[in-house]
A and B are shown apart, each in its own frame.
Chain A
Amino acid sequence: MRKLLASTAVALLALTAGAHAEGKLSIYHWFEYIPQELLDKFAEEYDVEVTMDTFDSNEALLASLKAGKLGSYDVAVPGDYMVKIMRDEGMLDTFEASELPNFGNIEDKWVDVEFDPGRKSSIPYQWGSTSFSVNKDVYKGKLDSLSLIFDAPAELKGKINVLDTAGETLTLASLYLGIPQCTSDRSQLKELNALVQKAKGDWASFGSDVAKDVLVSGDAAAGMIWSGFSAKARAEGANIEYVFPKEGMIVWMDNVVLLKDAPNRENALKFMNFLLDPENAAAVTNYAQYTAGVKGVGEFLKPEVANSPESNPPADQKGVFVQACPEDVQVLYDAIWTNLKK
């Protein structure tokens, strides 16, 4: 019996090894952020076997690359500040603009970005904003301020979900207070600490992945959320409005980066070039409901995506990128966060 089991196991193991195409491409991506059809299209066009692993936060990506996964992936998709961190850590390879025929498709404003000036290691993937949405059945007042989250009106008390990441939650809190990011000013940090401590009493839960779910199900009446996620929640029937706060909101951009020691550098560049093609960039946008950083996507977009209120902020809306703070300041923010969740 045992022998039988053992031999079946060996046979099954052999089965899983499977067939391999000549070229390979190994992607490390956010979960639920690229349509499988697009990967299949690339695989077919270039005769490359594509495999993809997923991560659930910028920090998780960094942790697993640091722990030893650098060298097994070709491209990854970190957010803006994480591109800078990874670049500083020497985890990124560089390329010449000439290696990507579609380099010129990058929207002008996204070429010279502070986290990768001149785009030496990265190309834009999608960008969007982080703010919050409010259920209009529960709260009927004016929707224009972060005070709805940080100094909640009676209708929303105890019904608020906030993102479970220190970076986003504390940055929105700083915007509300009007203090700069990465400040080392003690009175400002104390003010920030006091604000979140007090506001926590009105919060029902911390959760990032569940941000959409809690709004759709009604577990939360207001919740911090990413723009495209809010659009999806709306499409699933939540009567919510995405708020563009007067204090400002977080703007972010995810980028495809070329990783150092990429086993298939050629295919990685082919893939990056492929994603700069307007039709393909639009396919991602239609799926994820954010905004592409590529010229000429307009004609390929579904109208409901192109015209979604979440992706079209008012012209004068303020937005900031989350900053990567220096170490001595970051520990203070970490302390505030731990203090909040102790």
Chain B
Amino acid sequence: MAAGAPVGAGGTSNIYKGSGWKLLFPSWVIIGIFLLAPVLMMAVYSFLTKEFRGGVIWEFSLNAYDQFFFDRGLFGDEPPTLEWTYIGIFWRSIWQAGLATITCLLIGFPTAWFIATRKPESRSIWLFLVTIPYWVNLLIRTVSMKFLIRDTGPLNEFLLSLHVINEPLGLINTNFAVQLGLFYSYLPFMVLPIYAAVERYDFSLSEAAADLYASTWTILWLVILPVVRPGIIAGCILVFVPSLGAFLAPDLLGGAKTFMIGSLIEEQFKGNAGNWPFGAAASMILLTIVMCVLLVYARNQNKAEAR
């Protein structure tokens, strides 16, 4: 796609060449001290021995990673086989977050486009309209959503009274409910970055394409999407990554019947298990996976720039 990158996508320039580190200094100080240092500490924790009921003992141990990857039976004395429990939990969460990202993109892109094509002075009103609901706490919004879609809730009663359905839809405690919750939690994270990119879109590009007899959808696919790609990617990152660790929607709307990455890790720190090294190890594995994806993206971008 980069080869055909049209005008406007040539993002990188050398105007401030040499000041890169100066401009990045505040980020490094703030994140470096207050997050990187604690996270490195957690990385160390993942190689320590667990202290019963939370905490760590300062003795090197690979038990946490062993527990993640190898199954030794309920009593821990069978020969080790590959452990699917946690890989399965990770896979399920990744799948779920991916689905939520696609839903947010399918709904978020048209919404962002619609906003960006309003008159300039009303655009920010529309933007606020999308973010105003988020002044109400996520927990409250999720509980209200649950109230709406439950079997005895307004949605089902409305449909029943219209005789559209004969019995409640049974949405609560299903994957659909979880998806709805995730969509509802993260939609603006998709809309706003796409809006920021679309807002700059130069319609003479569409006109040129239309003059060359491109259909509306061809224009969208071949002309518009490549130009607003950075916004879409930013939006996907902002929806996908937080969805991976989300636990409110799965717990409240999905019934918490199965662990997700978020609830699995939380259980290690706040739950019965109290296994900090294992919680730290699971987090490091998650961090590695996400970081790899992100770095591959960054590398591709660098290559595209170099061309």
Contact = CB atoms under 8 A, between A and B. Distances in A.
B74 A193 contact: yes
Contact of A59 (B150, B252, B271): B271
Contacts of B256: 164, 205-207, 341
Given A219-B172, A336-B74, A59 B274 contact: yes
Interface string A201-228: 0011111001000000111000000000
B85 A342 contact: yes
Interface in A143-200: 164-167, 186, 189-190, 193, 200
> Which has the most chain A C-beta neighbours within 10 Å: B53, B172, B252?
B53
A338 interface: yes
Interface residues of B, number: 32
Contact of A327 (B52, B86, B151): B52
B251 interface: yes
Give the size range of A's interface with the partner: 35 or more
B270 A60 contact: yes
A237 to B, nearest CB: 12
A166 B271 contact: yes
A62 B53 contact: yes
B269 interface: yes
B150 A217 contact: yes
B255 A206 contact: yes
A204 B255 contact: yes
A63 interface: yes
B98 to A, nearest CB: 20
Given A204-B173, A205-B173, A205-B257, A62 B274 contact: yes
Contacts of A200: 257
B152 A203 contact: no
Interface string B154-187: 0000000000000000001100000000000000
A197 to B, nearest CB: 11
B259 interface: yes
B151 A57 contact: no
A66 interface: yes
A189 to B, nearest CB: 7
> Which has the most chain A C-beta neighbours within 10 Å: B55, B152, B173?
B173
B54 interface: yes
B74 to A, nearest CB: 6
B295 to A, nearest CB: 30
A337 interface: yes
A339 interface: yes
Contacts of A217: 147, 150, 152-153
A338 B85 contact: yes
Contacts of A63: 54, 269-270, 274
Given A186-B75, A200-B257, A332-B74, A218 B273 contact: no
B144 to A, nearest CB: 12
Nearest to A65: B54
Interface in A286-342: 327, 330-339, 341-342
B74 A339 contact: yes
Given A217-B150, A219-B150, A342-B85, A203 B257 contact: yes
A341 B75 contact: no
A89 interface: yes
A89 B52 CA distance: 10
A334 B153 CA distance: 36
B179 to A, nearest CB: 17
Interface string B134-154: 000000000000010011110
Interface in B259-287: 259, 269-275
A207 B259 contact: no
A85 interface: yes
Given A166-B271, A218-B151, A327-B52, A338 B259 contact: yes
A2 to B, nearest CB: 15
Contacts of A206: 255-257
Interface in B7-52: 52
Contact of B255 (A89, A189, A205, A331): A205
B224 interface: no
A57 B273 CA distance: 13
Nearest to A341: B259
A165 B274 CA distance: 13
B88 interface: yes
Interface in B194-231: none
B89 interface: yes
Contact of B89 (A164, A335, A342): A342
Given A186-B75, A204-B173, A218-B152, A341 B273 contact: no
B300 interface: no
B117 interface: no
A59 B173 contact: no
* Chain A to chain B: the 7 pairs with minimum beta-carbon distance, closest first: A205-B255, A206-B256, A166-B272, A327-B52, A342-B85, A60-B270, A66-B54
11 contacts: A62-B53, A85-B53, A89-B53, A164-B256, A167-B272, A218-B150, A332-B75, A334-B273, A334-B275, A335-B74, A342-B258
Given A63-B270, A337-B273, 8 more contacts: A62-B274, A164-B256, A186-B75, A206-B257, A217-B150, A217-B152, A338-B259, A339-B74
Interface of A: 57, 59-60, 62-63, 66, 85, 89, 164-167, 186, 189-190, 193, 200, 203-207, 210, 217-219, 327, 330-339, 341-342
